[in-house]
A and B are shown apart, each in its own frame.
Chain A
Amino acid sequence: MKAVCWEGANKVEVKTVPDPKIINPRDAIIKITSTAICGSDLHLYDGFNPTMKPGDILGHEFMGEIVELGSGVKDGNPRNNGEPLAVGDRVVVPFTIACGSCFFCNRTLWSLCDNSNPNAWMVEKVMGHSPAGLFGYSHLTGGYAGGQAEYARVPFADTGLFKIPDGLTDEQVLFLTDIFPTGYMAAENCDIQPGDTVAIWGCGPVGQFAIRSAYMLGADRVIAIDRVPERLQMAKEQGKAEILNYEEVDVGEALKEMTGGRGPDSVMDAVGMEAHGMGLEGMYDKVMQAARLETDRPNVLRQAIVACRKGGTVSVPGVYTGFIDKMPMGAFMNKGLTMKTGQTHLHRYLRPLLERVQNGDIDPSFVITHRLPLDAAPEAYEIFKHKKDNCIKVVLKP
């Protein structure tokens, strides 16, 4: 089959690789019909993750059709309305891999699954404990082959495949694999009360879904912050957000002025700083090196904490992997803030959000700006990375 392989910093290649096969009894094989490039893929592309190996297959937003089921795939996942899976079913695949039977899965903390990361030992050295395995996202989170390919192997298929009803296009449901639930959980983490104002830093695809979700959850006002004109425009036109360009205004002052001096009730960092702290050995040096490269990024979290109203909530969907410098702990503590974060518990949100799509509450395809064949992946990564041609979201068709 053809697959998008990471070959080094700023280098991906579409290669012919062996077709995936069933390895464990609960595996399934999916023939992929649509797949996307995520903003977080760019950090792998940029070469910031030392646990990438040449030849690794990228991609964690994908969907398709079941072509093979392992002998141990159990019937009747309640998140699939108890319906058994069958060859030929059209499915979406959450980017977090979850076993469905550990302490964390039982508490619907799916992205914290105990059993899906075969390289848990690597993460434990850094974080104390390992979160779930992820598709196509470095060996730190399992080294699973990703879904920017013609086929993919999906472990724990009985827990990790969601059937899609007829009548919905790939583009309407593809983002249920990551960015729509990620934006939604981030909005939920804002603990929104009626009449609240939410400020969201970052108008990439996750930020766009967070804006829409914040309104779904009862926010009165959403203020979106970015510097890329077309992203701010999308936030305004599609998301109905008020917008601030941080290159043009002092965001902290502007937010105060817009909220009668009190500050937003909750703030969201939908930017993150993945470039920091990826190392295992000699991490400190790498962090310092990365910090030099990424000096503006921790500013988002700092700025958000300082801007948030007293007693408010800080939601962090943006990905962090290591340490940050100069966390304004004084502001955080003395203003009595709460922080909520985490990789998305995809399995918790997928079906309720699918119902929102079915009901017509939202059509997630609004973020797509580019559609390209899988073969054009090297070009697609360049377009997306450099935001060429007003690029916001790329879908690849195998």
Chain B
Amino acid sequence: MNQPIKVEKTMTINKPAAELYRFWHNFENLPHFMKHLKSVKVQDAKRSHWVASAPLDGSIEWDADITEDRENELIAWKSVAGADVDNAGFIQFKPAPNNNGTEVKVVTEYNPPAGVIGAAIAKLFGEAPEQQIGDDLRRFKMLMETGEVATTEGQSRGSK
């Protein structure tokens, strides 16, 4: 039996809530900073199709619906029936004290299926789920604050 995995992470981003809300609201932007997402296709105002990496070079896919949407405050989504992995999440934007940016909180929940694939997926998301969502959120912060995600991938180095 796989346990549901629920993680939450908060980070302060030095930008107004409206700007962060707008960027996130277009789910097609998410793969820019969420490492395990291959693509998200927005189908209509409510529904989107998500593709994520899975172990052994595979992918898992699902459709998700926006379940709650409060402008500049909160976006919640949930996978619809038939998803490879049932999942749901929300992001909340709250102005930080003294106009020092926006406190951004992300909560995500996965319900991996039973069986071998489920176990592999649980492992993928479960190794360090807080780490993963924290890293995703940090990349979101970098992108919004600096226009790019800091990286050393592809830089020069000696062999090995």
Contacts and interface: CB of A to CB of B under 8 A. Distances in A.
Contact of B158 (A13, A133, A151): A13
Interface string A95-128: 0000111110010000000111110110000000
Interface residues of B, number: 26
A215 B154 CA distance: 45
Nearest to A26: B148
B150 A24 contact: yes
Contacts of A144: 152, 155
A115 B150 contact: yes
A170 interface: no
Contacts of B156: 1, 3, 17-20, 57, 145, 149, 151, 153
B9 to A, nearest CB: 12
Given A102-B14, A103-B101, A118-B152, A54 B145 contact: no
Interface of B (DSSP majority class):
loop
A57 B131 contact: no
A115 to B, nearest CB: 5
Interface string B120-160: 00000000000100110010011001111111111111111
A24 B151 contact: yes
Nearest to A155: B150
A115 B158 contact: no
Given A103-B12, A103-B14, A121-B134, A25 B148 contact: yes
Nearest to B96: A103
A25 B135 CA distance: 21
Contacts of B147: 25-26, 72
Nearest to A104: B14
B16 to A, nearest CB: 13
Contacts of B157: 5, 17, 55-57, 145
A115 B138 CA distance: 8
B59 interface: no
Interface in A117-172: 117-118, 120-121, 133, 142-145, 149, 151, 153, 155-156
